[in-house]
């Protein structure tokens, strides 16, 4: 049976950047969904005050540059998962682009020295792929700046990875005071909880839901337009089943067809 692991990161309190209001709550809500509703096998939480991971020696989980980089480097050096397993990564916090690379800004990241104090998204994807899991899915509610979530730079395709972005590069991504969440995370949680007809069991359907729901939330709360989007490499990852309990026979048959076509061309 496939194993499911997740990492949830949310940062409110920054040393060198404007604080955020609901990134920590976003990560905690995703942690709860992973663990209590989706029943993932392992969930790692990194927030301003999350407890250490209880192993010997304990791993500190405050998302500083050193802590997070060490966690990703040390714990994903050797494959821990297998083909068919799933690894999800959620990040809520500031993000930026520097020297044609996308970066996640950590508690102690220095906007004047991004290259040496922030973690490249490319490094994250490389480490997660070393886990051995076939299916690596990123949710980056990371385009936040000056109290909003400005779409600067986060948005490159990464091979073998499905990545959901909270807004298009030219837009802002908003936190909603009345919801105590970012509008992207609010919509994501709603979409993941839909059962039966209209569910978001696949990457493609979750993407369609987010594209419709996030602008609707923003309109309700008088925010400007925000268009989330997904990238998938290869494109057949759009048919990836995220929620097996809600998948249909058509979803499964599409995966079989993708596999058959790949076999025919020797991929």
Residue 46 contacts residue 90 (beta carbons within 8 Å): no
Band of residue 261 on the pLDDT scale cut at 50, 70, 90: confident
pLDDT above 70: residue 10: yes
**What is the predicted pLDDT for the residue at 12?**
96
Residue 216 contacts residue 228 (beta carbons within 8 Å): no
Band of residue 143 on the pLDDT scale cut at 50, 70, 90: low
The rounded distance, in Å, linking the Cα atoms of 232 and 239 is 10
Following DSSP, what letter does each residue of 136-155 receive, concatenated?
A: EEEEEE---BTTBEE--S--
Residues 6+ apart with CB under 8 A from 233: 157, 158, 159, 160, 161
pLDDT over 70 for what percent of the chain? 94
Least Cα distance to 122 among 170, 81, 157 occurs for: 157
User: What domains sit in the chain, N to C, each tagged with a CATH number?
Assistant: 4-264 (3.40.50.1460)
The rounded distance, in Å, linking the Cα atoms of 155 and 15 is 25
The pLDDT of 87-101, averaged and rounded, is 89
Omega within 30 of 0 (cis) for the link into 234: yes
The rounded distance, in Å, linking the Cα atoms of 17 and 108 is 9
| pLDDT tens figures, 208-230 | 999 999 999 999 999 999 999 99
The rounded distance, in Å, linking the Cα atoms of 141 and 144 is 8
The whole-chain average pLDDT of the chain stands at: 90
Alpha helices in 172-264 (DSSP H): 183-192, 203-220, 249-264
Least Cα distance to 205 among 172, 254, 258, 143 occurs for: 254
Question: Higher pLDDT residue, 259 or 189?
Answer: 189
| pLDDT tens figures, 81-92 | 998 899 999 999
Residue 191 contacts residue 238 (beta carbons within 8 Å): no
| pLDDT tens figures, 102-142 | 899 999 999 999 999 999 999 999 999 999 998 999 999 98
pLDDT above 80: residue 195: yes
**What is the predicted pLDDT for the residue at 180?**
96
Q: What is the pTM of this model?
A: 0.92
pLDDT above 70: residue 152: no
Following DSSP, what letter does each residue of 211-230 receive, concatenated?
A: HHHHHHHHHHTT------EE
Residue 33: how many other CB atoms lie within 10 Å: 19
Least Cα distance to 10 among 131, 130, 158, 144 occurs for: 144
Least confident of 52-61, 100-109, 203-212: 52-61
State the angle between helix axes of 183-192 and 23-32 in degrees (0 to 180), rounded to the nearest 10: 10
């Amino acid at each position: 049976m496939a194993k499911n692991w997740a990492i949830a990161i949310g940062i409110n309190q920054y040393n060198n950047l404007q604080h955020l209001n609901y990134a920590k709550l976003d990560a905690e809500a995703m942690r709860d969904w992973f663990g209590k509703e989706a029943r993932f096998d392992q969930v790692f939480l990194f927030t301003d005050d999350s407890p250490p991971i209880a192993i010997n020696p304990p791993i500190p989980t405050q998302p500083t540059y050193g802590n997070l980089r060490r966690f990703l480097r040390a714990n994903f050096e050797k494959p821990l998962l297998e083909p068919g397993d799933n690894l999800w990564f959620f990040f809520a916090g500031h993000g930026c682009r520097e020297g044609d690379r996308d970066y996640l800004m950590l508690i102690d990241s220095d906007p004047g020295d991004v290259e040496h104090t922030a973690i490249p998204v490319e490094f994250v994807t490389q480490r997660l792929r070393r886990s051995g899991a076939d299916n690596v899915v990123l949710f980056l509610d990371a385009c936040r700046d000056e109290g909003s979530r400005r779409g600067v730079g986060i948005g490159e395709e990464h091979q073998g990875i499905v990545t959901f972005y909270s807004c298009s590069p030219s837009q802002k991504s908003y936190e909603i005071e009345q919801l105590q969440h970012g509008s992207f995370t609010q919509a994501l949680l709603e979409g993941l909880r839909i059962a039966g007809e209209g569910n978001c069991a696949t990457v493609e359907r979750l993407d369609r839901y987010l594209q419709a729901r996030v602008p609707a939330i923003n309109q309700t709360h008088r925010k400007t337009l925000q268009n989330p989007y997904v990238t998938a490499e290869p494109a057949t990852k759009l048919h990836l089943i995220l929620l097996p309990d809600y998948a249909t026979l058509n979803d499964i048959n599409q995966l079989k067809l993708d596999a058959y076509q790949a076999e025919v061309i020797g991929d």
